[in-house]
Structure 1
């Protein structure tokens, strides 16, 4: 029985008349467990990595601050350039989760295990979503593998990862209406969107998806004030209202919109730039687009207006900003899965199933043991030795200028003794300030004016970078430490 969300007038929605005999019911339960377990193991091992994301380090420090102060910060606490500036820690709930695990007996490895659980959940939900959308009749690996490959590149220890899982849960509610969550959207949607909104700003994409879905169903002849569309519309309104129940009120709900007003500064941030085909993410996203378009063109049944209206904007969002590539393929996954041609029923081989399951479990256990045996943090790309030199020379606490990526490490390791010039909270810093920082970073001649204005005393910068060379040649600065990664310079 086809249980995916398709147009009732479409031939695919009437399997008892058009579907071949080989449906999901003809497949062995053990074979399903085998396939699901393989995806779960892949998701688990991909996400069970060492902690090294610079944004995560800031999130972790913020979560610890929240636990220590029993409340969320409402103004900046990390910089000396805009101290006290209004700040919405929009991922406060995820930050509390990180800090709670960090401070618990399991320590930072607990955060890594959390990542593995999120990865396993994402892989399993994506597999089940594709399988249910295709009614078990198609080999969905054709679309599932490229879609998950793109998304998995963003499965790192930051709140966006939670947002990706939340998006998959939303797709499940909408695309599989006869599922437990799909039958209860008035309960499932408000709860999901509240959790999502308090964990990451990508919840706005969830509401955009819901709006496009309802508009698309309307275009297909299903009015939003009738049937299931009415319940989804009511659930969406309730979910939006529930999002205002947070420590920041409307400020948190409006955060995604306010972030976009910093577009001039965001253009310098790699994840907010358009995909580069020479990069791994850009090339993988291009492969997904090619696969998705090929499925739509070669499908025997035409996609509905709703499918086009939902998938096209998200593909464009992925082409506009690289970070949207984390969810754009997931939106198209169930659509492509429904349009795949039916495949012959799999041959039942119980012994092979047992062998695959056993092998998958053994591989997962071995990889888990070896990965968790490594130090929980990988700080190899941070100026650990350089900052240790700063501390040993009595320079800690002075006005420090470093990269926004390294600032996360400084905040994690040395705050509150050391504040930063700027970190990657582009939503908080004034746009003109952030743009000026980017120009100075690339060696703009106005670096002297900026350093004088903010009375910068110590610079920890990339060895060999244009700014480092300019400071080295300046008689006003002297080098006190240098290694292959970072150089420390002090104002004379």
Structure 2
């Protein structure tokens, strides 16, 4: 890649990555977002920064060091202005600005192919992190801006001071990175000034580098902020992203369907960084500040896996200053074809990676998958207020839905707010009889919410007649206290449950799912759908019940809801196809089954192929029907039903596969296969 093409490629790739982020919904891959939104709501309502666990009924309230209050307010206002679309636009705009700053630091128009490769790999590592909205999205931007001011615009280095103030209030716990940047360039200036020599002109003045770290104290926490990054890791050691980086993962580089995984993207960047560092050391070149930043970034990896992003950004100045692989080469250079192939392969892999990471898109602009959306809707509907004993892992979203009308037990996404003892007790509530009993006696909650699995808590609550099961959604089951909420418990008591060990009650043939005379659905199901019309479990059951009772038109309503709410899952498309087939709209049914097939894991496709085979058979397309039935079962299996074997033989004959047809008919006469004979 020539220097003339390097910059256009980088701009094209930045635009592609930004469009991917703009088209990607807010997903529950990281529940931190909702605790930040809840805190932002508190700040907007109370005109104050929270100082305790305002959303929890734990007593005494836990002390809260809110070092992200500015991000929380900005995120809340973006959501208030444009809903989840506002958060998507905010995330994408920050990423695009970050990409532009990286482009200004790397300068691919000067470094050619090597600079373009560095830019591409860096953006691949970072775009994965930008799928979720957290304070880190601003931290990465601030790191790049600090590097740009100190490296490329030293005359504007005074802007580091207001940047430090904004940084400290947006994601203050990450302030050591700004300290590292300032220290690196200050140390370089001192080193270059030794012996009374004047440093090069393209260096930032010392006073902004000295004042910027002091400006970090301009936050409601003041000097208390200084100790937070170095506090005990005991509270957060259970978080996967806090685990130390395992350098052996760099050896697990793999390409699947032409696409990299996140570790693969970082491994490519690490290879380029190692080449640049080796070249710099061999030639004894490279600025002192660049080496300090590079080594500091490596050191951050020992603080956790998520520090890969900081490591990438801090390594950019060193990589931007070198071109160890020699980007420019003569036309008769024998290595020219190999270089061109490597560059084309990297560009293709980068684009394929974006397609792979962002192709299977959940519902836009927000996916409720794995969130207690229905529980929140129910609590809003009954509007009783009170205390909700909740499962801590999804507490952030539940608090966002119901605070300030309700207060919850705990949100595990606030690991620095709750103590290790709190987290231990939260686990005990859902796993031991004693833990549940102690929590109920101490806090006397109006409601208890528990995930479908494991079934231990549900069995324990079943032995307590003072709590009635009143609602469930795709993740949790809600119980109401008969003593504190008698009307709710009496009106909404449920005869079924998706909890582990009770899921058979959601079978259409279960007695609890018999509808009253003149009704298509049981009363409890109609009631739940009125409160949460997009629930997966309830719409699935409703669609199955209507199909079983000969009402495919009614089933279409519920399967359409499943398709709309969970477009990345096959279940809605399968049920929609079943309903269309029941209406005789077979071509449309085939299209739905094909969509379901594309969303189904290869090991679970047999039922989909069976439906496709049946539809094509009804359409009198024996070749297609035969092909799908072959994929839906094993014709060599001794346990294959005689009816299926006969259908295979008949379809094979109609498809012109007479040899196969004779084989199946011969097996049908004995119903034995070669593998069942002891030769």
TM-score range, shorter chain: 0.7 to 0.9
Q: Kindly provide the CA deviation profile for residues 330-355 of structure 1, in whole angstroms up to 9, marking residues without a partner as x.
A: 111231232223323899xxxxxxxx
Contact kept, 8 Å, 1:214 with 1:233, in 2: the verdict is yes
Whole-angstrom distance in 2 between the partners of 1:442 and 1:209: 46
Whole-angstrom distance in 1 between the partners of 2:382 and 2:186: 62
Name which of 394, 418, 425 aligns with 1:429. Answer: 418
1:206-225 to 2 correspondences below 5 Å: 206-215=178-187
Question: Which deviates the most, 393-402 or 414-423?
Answer: 393-402
Structure 1 residue aligned with 2:33: 56
Structure 2 residue aligned with 1:41: 15
Bigger CA radius of gyration: 2
Structure 1 residue aligned with 2:168: 197
Structure 1 SS opposite 2:407: coil
Contact kept, 8 Å, 2:32 with 2:396, in 1: the verdict is yes
Cα gap change, 1:284/1:148 in structure 2, threshold over 3 Å: closer, same or farther? Answer: same
Any gaps of 5 or more consecutive residues in structure 2?
254-260, 332-358, 483-679
Cα distance, 1:268 vs structure 2: 0.8
Cα distance, 1:145 vs structure 2: 2.2
Structure 2 residue aligned with 1:291: 272
Structure 1 residue aligned with 2:208: 235
> What RMSD, in angstroms, separates the aligned Cα atoms of the two structures?
3.8
The answer to which structure has the higher helix fraction is 2
Contact kept, 8 Å, 2:25 with 2:362, in 1: the verdict is no
Question: Which deviates the most, 302-311 or 70-79?
Answer: 302-311
Whole-angstrom distance in 1 between the partners of 2:330 and 2:104: 17
1:411-426 to 2 correspondences below 5 Å: 411-423=399-411, 424-426=413-415
Cα gap change, 1:287/1:307 in structure 2, threshold over 3 Å: closer, same or farther? Answer: same
Cα gap change, 1:289/1:230 in structure 2, threshold over 3 Å: closer, same or farther? Answer: closer
Name which of 87, 92, 98 aligns with 1:111. Answer: 87
Contact kept, 8 Å, 1:265 with 1:435, in 2: the verdict is no
Cα distance, 1:266 vs structure 2: 0.8
Whole-angstrom distance in 2 between the partners of 1:479 and 1:232: 67
Structure 1 residue aligned with 2:73: 96
TM-score normalised by length of structure 2: 0.56
Contact kept, 8 Å, 2:63 with 2:417, in 1: the verdict is yes
Q: Kindly provide the CA deviation profile for residues 21-41 of structure 1, in whole angstroms up to 9, marking residues without a partner as x.
A: x9xxx966xx57633531431
Contact kept, 8 Å, 1:51 with 1:378, in 2: the verdict is yes
Whole-angstrom distance in 1 between the partners of 2:196 and 2:270: 30
Q: In the alignment, does 2:475 pair up with 1:485?
A: yes
- Greater RCO, 1 or 2 (C-alpha within 8 Å, sep 6+): 1
Structure 2 residue aligned with 1:11: none
- Equivalent residues, number: 430
Structure 1 residue aligned with 2:220: 247
Q: In the alignment, does 2:137 pair up with 1:161?
A: yes
Whole-angstrom distance in 2 between the partners of 1:123 and 1:89: 28
Any gaps of 5 or more consecutive residues in structure 1?
1-21, 348-369
Whole-angstrom distance in 1 between the partners of 2:148 and 2:364: 36
Structure 2 residue aligned with 1:336: 319
1:406-485 to 2 correspondences below 5 Å: 406-423=394-411, 424-437=413-426, 439-440=427-428, 443=431, 447-448=435-436, 449=438, 452-455=441-444, 458-465=447-454, 468-473=455-460, 475-476=463-464, 480-482=470-472, 485=475
TM-score normalised by length of structure 1: 0.75
Whole-angstrom distance in 2 between the partners of 1:66 and 1:441: 31
